[in-house]
Structure 1
Amino acid sequence: MAFPSPPSILSQRNLTAAELSGDDLTPAQLRLFAWMHLARRADNRILELFRQGLIKGTVTGGQGNEGLIVPLALLLDKATDVVSFTHRDFGGHLIWSGHLCEHLNQYFANAASPTQAREGNIHHGDPANRSLPMISHLGAMLSNVVGVTDAQRRAGHQAVGLCLFGDGGSSTGDIHETLNLASLLSLPILFVIENNHYAYSTPLDEQFNQSTPLWHRAAGYGIEGRHIDATDALSAADALADAVATVRTSGRPLLVEAKTLRLRGHAAYDTCDYLKPGESDGFFAADSLPKLRAHLVENGQTDAVAALETELNAFVESCIQHSLGVARPTPDMAKLTAEVFAPTAAPLPWEATPAETTELNFAQAINAALRKVLTERSESLILGQDIATYGGAFKVTDGLLNDFGRSRVFNTPLAESSCTGYAVGLALAGHRPIEEFQFSDFVTEAATQITLNAATYHFRSGAKVPLVLRMPCGGGLTFGSFHSQELESMLLSMPGIKALYPSTPQDAFNAVLAAVEDDNPVLLFEHKMLYRGAKGAVSWDGNYRKVWEPRHVAAGDYATVVTYGQMVGLATQAAAYFRDEYDYSFDIFDLRALSPLRLDAIKASLARTHRLIVLHEGRRSHGFGAELVAQLTEEHFFDLEAPPLRIASLDMPVPFAPELEAAYRPSVDSIIEKIADWIG
């Protein structure tokens, strides 16, 4: 069934500075009014429908914010600019793209919603048109906008990025990191603070020191700051037009604090009993929508305003009836689980080089693969702390800056969250970024960006995030608790993330290529003890995608051993001992890929050996080995001739002294001892 036809004035989704300063201002003012009225009417009706039980979850309205978001959205270039609207910005969604019915379908969570009913309420966007869907972690979307905007500029577009956040969100670290990053990279980002005086129920004087206005913080980042009053839509439109033009022309960030309003509380369930007596009356008295309406009436537009209101109200009602008539989604669990990841991409057209075999250590193999990626894939770039001139903490990126330049290989500030979010934005816009974490331990600073943002993007919006995150990990080098973690179990408990953990130089080379061409976020775990370990033969391998499957390391019939990373070498040594001393042979598998797990060959082995040993360096409790045991024994429990054996590190922080660390993590001797006790 076709959508109801919108009023003709809604076909005009743009506004120019010239229209705001010409001889006849009426058309521009009526356009502002029409979109503001539409947003208000739809927001109010959505609230009513929620209270009637027709909309689930909750709703957060933009009533009072229209004087800011409507002129902003109209002033931006829908063909090139980048936005991420938030809770109060329904008017922005309406203007940017789509029919009102599509947006209402999102609220009704019906089968035709933009997110296929997988996301709630205003948590949607239009990634294909650079409107990035928000997540509830305040501030996390800003760095994504920075990344997509940088990609637009790299593609030759004079784009502007719009980063919106509230007075409450202004306290989050992500926002400060992103302001600094945008200033450092000199990117054209318009940062707008929607200051409506309350973070949920917390007033301004309980959020930050009132002696310094929020927009004054711009000076700390070396950028310009401004303040506007968005309770007057006409003056706000003039000020915002100038701000957008300034950013577009200068190519530099600009911070604007906008005085705006929240007329209906934080969300539908908000009782607003925290407001001071009469405070709400003051908000309604300052409301920008009736002010604009009164201005138009005073200037002889009574009939035009009344006609617009009648037409728009009827349009809203017809759209509501249309969306109410759309069927509820039918759960298709096979489709839902299949779409957690973006589909497997076709192999990239790699050149069959290096054709000759070279003896390389693990770090050199990764360097060679990164060099190949940068040479053959113009959309790829490498970023991270100290990876440029210095070549990275472990010199894995050594020499790449000299050969590929700072636009392709560049340092980032110590701001893992915003820099990862920036890389997510680059990936959303068609780049294939590779980010190096100095140590995998520091990934906890970017956990939201990886596990709740990048990892869920495809499921909730259909967008691809081809991002590689390199993780130097593991102990054995006496680096202590904050530089030696194995975090795969923590990270991979969240859906939507792929992970590779190679153990040989050739697999490391192959893993880089396989990860780069994947359309999902991929964690590439690199054990630090392997970097300068034994060299191995490395050459072009046309079967590089086999790295997504386990490697059969050694054949045996006594037990099936499953391991990965640096533990592969230890498992091989321990197996040699039992072969030589007791004539026991083990079927050893190197997982290589931790997500998705492909265990068919290992299950077949277990069905033959009837015994299972799982070896990994992470801690035993809640460790990755527990998941392996569970998946491998579900089908073969009654075939087992012994309980599964899990060998892992102790349940404690990583100790520093060599003697303590050696006792903490598996060694060849401790592996042999545990297997011997298990054999009995």
Structure 2
Amino acid sequence: MKTSINIEYDRSGLDNDTLLKLYKNILKPRLIEEKMLILLRQGKISKWFSGIGQEAISVGVTMAMKNDEYILPMHRNLGVFTTRDIPLYRLFAQWQGKASGFTKGRDRSFHFGTQQYKIVGMISHLGTQLGVADGIALASKLTKEKAVTTVFTGEGGTSEGDFHEALNVASVWQLPVLFCVENNGYGLSTPTNEQYNCNDIADRGIGYGIESHIIDGNNVIEVYTKVNEIAKSVRENPRPVLIEFKTFRMRGHEEASGTKYVPQELMDTWAARDPLLNLQAFLKDKKLLTESEEVEIKENIIHEINEHLEISFNEDAIVPNLTKELSDVYQDFKYQEVKSNSKFKEIRLIDAVSESLKQSMERHDNLIIMGQDIAEYGGAFKITDGFLERFGKDRIRNTPICESAIIETGMGLSIAGMKSIVEMQFADFITSGFNPVVNYLAKSYYRWSQNADVVIRMPCGGGVAAGPFHSQTNEAWFTKTPGLKVVYPAFPYDAKGLLNTAINDSNPVLFFEHKGLYRSVRQNVPEDYYTLPFGKASVLKVGKGITIIAYGAAIHWALNTLENNSDISADLIDLRTLQPLDTETIYNSVKKTGKAIILQEDSLFGGIASDISSLIMENCFEYLDAPVKRVASIETPIPFASQLEQQYLPKNRFEAALKELSNY
């Protein structure tokens, strides 16, 4: 029986080979999906997000891209992976949690990327990859490659702030990104009329000053030809383009969800517009595909599917290896010590940070600094004053107020082989970009061996009467997250050397800079470039009676207290880096002195002092002559009025606590 053609095709300019290739490429993911649905019912895979009825978008867009151009797909874009000719056994292994998949069993479905095929997979926080696409596109623009970056999202994802931030950044910087929105009718069960209140998502392009298009997402010929035309134009004239593909989700959000909430007449209407069946009927009508050819093509694909399934099924299950798991949290970084050969000069901590940035920019041609007001204005604290004239607008980039998108852009730059430094105007503002830090930067290397070569500078701390939104010292949020490194210097010498190392490190680093120390602490520092190692604390004073452990401004409070109490013989340990943590120095000191007190500026509960205390109790208990003592700020937000702030901070309570423990 002949299938009716319910889609209007225009094959102008397309040869027969291209049309048949479109057909084969759209058929393959359909046949794979049909097999996966059987395996799902048999319990051989755990979950499935179906793209049946939407294959035309993935296939048409991918065929319009060059193989060396990045695509950032979603979980209904199987056609992206198959059109890029990824070996099927690797996809099947990925879905079964096998070692030959792309995440070594550490993530599922399409939550992976592969540099080999220039695909960057999603995370469940859907909008995050939009800003990552900005970063990849920025890299191609800076290196003058005529390349397009393509990123997918669904209509539901366009409600997330990341979508709006990413479009705005791409527009302001004129980045060559195709933002592809698959408008498939429902976000899980929520229809589009409850998700946005405009006629078309493409209308949003107007607000960002970017070009937009609406394409029939079930017409693979229209998808391919129009996206191909747009992509060619963007390669020659870099700019962002918003493309809305009208389509429909024929199955549940994931298979367990079902589609009972969808009116049957709507399902029937879209079923008649099936992209595969309509193309197949069109090709037969034009005498480009015979029944026997159709059967042969299907048989070849089914044979390939079964052959590769057998390979994946026969692969052994992953055997947990604790050493391997722990070693894969961070990309291996070989620290290279660079010693100074220059004379010293007395500078402030703020000058040390600025010198490090400047000298690192000179050493790394692929290093970009991004942040609010960092170019002409020189940054909120004038740390990058003069950088614009020296390094140019491409490398010293003012950003819109969009912490999330800029951190994601840094991730995209790393994927494209570049380095970035992102300045938070204040560490407090990291909350607006928290998700990409803890869920993308921190986890990418563990998930699919993609490092995040990003340093986030965090001006932080109290003592300057700046109130609850400009004074937090929030390092504990990040020491809790595997995959991040956390650095917190207290002196100019350490700040310069450690920041140089942070920039060299190919892992994500949060670099805390205490605002109260910027201009109040001076020290002799080498004029030229040097590095200091992570995970090595500094012992500032040596004594026998007690171990004092601190970092940041708290180190200076401890120094002042010891100067006023010369009878107390103490080891004073400046941690310098909180992740990695120098436990060896801590343990050796505590075993010698028998007493330990930990001073932090952060509030007490849940701070890093709690973990250090536990580590000491677990590893040095038999050496202790007294309970481990923690001293920290009180359990309130940090207040504005100076007298309230002084009450909040532990600076004035530390002396009494130190004496009490010394006399225990």
Q: TM-score, normalised by structure 1?
A: 0.93
CA distance in 2, matches of 1:128, 1:603: 45
Amino acid across the alignment from 2:656: E
1:336 equivalent in structure 2: 325
CA shift in 2, pair 1:89/1:547, >3 Å: closer
Q: Quote the offset at 1:102 in angstroms.
A: 1.1
The answer to whether the aligner puts 1:627 opposite 2:611 as a matched pair is yes
Question: For the residues of structure 1 that align with 2:589 and 2:294, how far apart are their CA atoms?
Answer: 76
Q: Who is 1:50 aligned against?
A: 40
Write the distance in 2 (CA, Å) between the matches of 1:114 and 1:439: 37
Match of 1:459 in 2: 446
Q: Does 1:90 align with 2:74?
A: no
Q: Distance in 1 between matches of 2:530 and 2:413?
A: 28
**C-alpha distance in structure 2 between counterparts of 1:433 and 1:655, whole Å:** 33
> In the alignment, is residue 436 of structure 1 matched against residue 419 of structure 2?
no
Pair 1:132-2:120 in alignment:
yes
Is the aligned partner of 1:639 residue 2:642? no
Residue 219 of structure 1 aligns to a residue in which SS?
helix
- Kindly provide the CA deviation profile for residues 51-76 of structure 1, in whole angstroms up to 9, marking residues without a partner as x: 211112x2112111111110111110
Output the amino acid matched with 1:620: L
For residue 564 of structure 2, give the secondary structure of its aligned residue in structure 1.
helix
In the TM superposition, what is the alpha-carbon distance from 1:541 to its structure 2 partner? 8.0
1:20-419 matches, cutoff 5 A: 21-22=12-13, 25-56=15-46, 58-79=47-68, 81-209=69-197, 211-300=198-287, 301-302=289-290, 303-347=292-336, 355-419=342-406
Cα deviations by residue, 1:385-443 (Å, 9 ceiling, x for unpaired)? 01111111111111111211111111110000001100111122221111110000000
**Alpha-carbon distance, 1:454 to partner:** 0.7
Q: How far, CA to CA, are the matches of 1:36 and 1:317 in structure 2?
A: 18
State the partner residue of 1:676.
659
After superposing the two structures, state which structure 1 stretch, 669-678 or 98-107, moved more.
669-678
1:346 & 1:500 partners in 2: Cα distance?
Answer: 15
Contact 2:131 2:405 in 1 (8 A): yes
Distance 1:431 1:345, change over 3 A: farther
Say if 2:506 is the partner of 1:523.
no
CA distance in 2, matches of 1:519, 1:100: 31
Q: Is the CA contact 1:510–1:547 (under 8 Å) kept in the aligned structure 2? A: no
Q: Please name the residue that 1:661 is paired with.
A: 645
CA distance in 2, matches of 1:444, 1:129: 33
Q: TM-score, normalised by structure 2?
A: 0.96
Measure, in 2, the Cα distance between the counterparts of 1:655 and 1:269. Answer: 49
**Residue 243 of structure 1: CA displacement?**
2.1
**AA aligned opposite 2:349:** F
Give the C-alpha shift of residue 546 in structure 1. Answer: 3.2
Q: Which moved more, 1:390-399 or 1:586-595?
A: 390-399
Q: Paired residue for 1:544?
A: 531
User: In structure 2, the residue corresponding to 1:292 is in which secondary structure?
Assistant: helix
CA contact (8 A) 2:498 2:533 kept: no
Q: Who is 2:541 aligned against? A: 554
1:261 match: secondary structure = coil
Q: Within 5 Å, which residues of 2 pair with 1:471-482?
A: 471-482=458-469
**1: CA distance between counterparts of 2:70 and 2:222?**
24
**SS class of match (2:563):** helix
Cα distance change of structure 1 residues 648 and 152 upon mapping to structure 2, 3 Å threshold: same
Separation in structure 1 between the aligned mates of residue 260 and residue 192 of structure 2, nearest angstrom: 16
TM alignment of 1:479-628, pairs within 5 A: 479-539=466-526, 544-579=531-566, 583-628=567-612
Where 2:239 maps in the other structure, the secondary structure is: coil
* In 2, Cα distance between equivalents of 1:21 and 1:518: 52
CA contact (8 A) 2:546 2:590 kept: yes
Residues 354/212 of structure 1: CA separation in 2 closer, same or farther (3 Å cut): farther
Whole-Å Cα distance in 1 between the matches of residues 534 and 113 of structure 2? 35
Find 2:437's aligned residue among 450, 455, 470: 450
SS at match of 1:552: strand
Tell whether the 8 Å contact from 1:101 to 1:323 is kept in structure 2 after alignment.
yes
Contact 2:341 2:528 in 1 (8 A): no
Number of aligned pairs?
A: 652
Task: Give the aligned residue type for 1:443.
Answer: I
**Distance in 1, Cα, partners of 2:20 & 2:190:** 36
C-alpha displacement of 1:353: 6.0
- State the distance in 1 between where 2:594 and 2:335 align: 38
SS at match of 1:632: helix
Taking only the aligned residue pairs, the percentage that are identical comes to: 32
Q: Deviations along 1:557-600, whole A, 9 cap, x unmatched?
A: 11111100111111111122232xxx221111000011011210
Query: Which residue does the alignment assign to 2:4?
Result: none
Query: Are the counterparts in 1 of residues 399 and 406 from structure 2 also a CA contact under 8 Å?
Result: yes
Residues of 2 paired with 1:431 and 1:51: CA distance?
A: 44
Separation in structure 2 between the aligned mates of residue 286 and residue 20 of structure 1, nearest angstrom: 18
Q: Report if aligned partners of 1:60, 1:88 keep a CA contact under 8 Å in 2.
A: yes
Distance 1:552 1:129 in 2: 49
Q: Deviations over 1:593-652 (max 9, x none)?
A: 110112101101101111110001001011111011111221112321111110000111
Distance 2:531 2:573 in 1: 17
Q: CA deviation at 1:128?
A: 4.6
C-alpha offsets along residues 94-152 of structure 1, whole Å, 9 cap, x if unaligned?
A: 22252111111111111211111111111112135431121010110011111112112
- The AA in structure 2 aligned to 1:141 is Q
Q: Contact (CA 8 Å) 1:360, 1:535: kept in 2 or not? A: yes
CA distance 1:354–1:531, shift in 2 (3 Å): farther
Structure 2's unaligned 5+ residue stretches are 1-9
Contact 1:50 1:59 in 2 (8 A): yes
> Aligned equivalents of 1:272 and 1:21: distance in 2?
37
**Aligned partners of 2:148 and 2:607: how far apart in 1?**
44
Residues 86 and 134 of structure 1 are in contact (CA less than 8 Å); yes or no, is this contact kept in structure 2?
A: yes
Structure 2 counterpart of 1:170, one-letter code: T
Equivalent residue, structure 1, for 2:3: none
Amino acid at match of 1:489: A
Pair 1:547–1:496, CA change in 2 (3 A):
closer
Residue 284 (structure 1) shift: 1.4
Tell me the distance in 1 between the aligned counterparts of 2:534 and 2:277: 63
**Offset from partner CA, 1:37-96 (integer Å, 9 cap, x none):** 11011112112212211112x2112111111110111110112x1211101101101222
| One-letter amino acid of the counterpart of residue 57, structure 2 | L
The CA RMSD over aligned residues, in Å, is 1.6
Tell me, in whole angstroms, the C-alpha distance in 2 between the residues paired with 1:525 and 1:246.
43
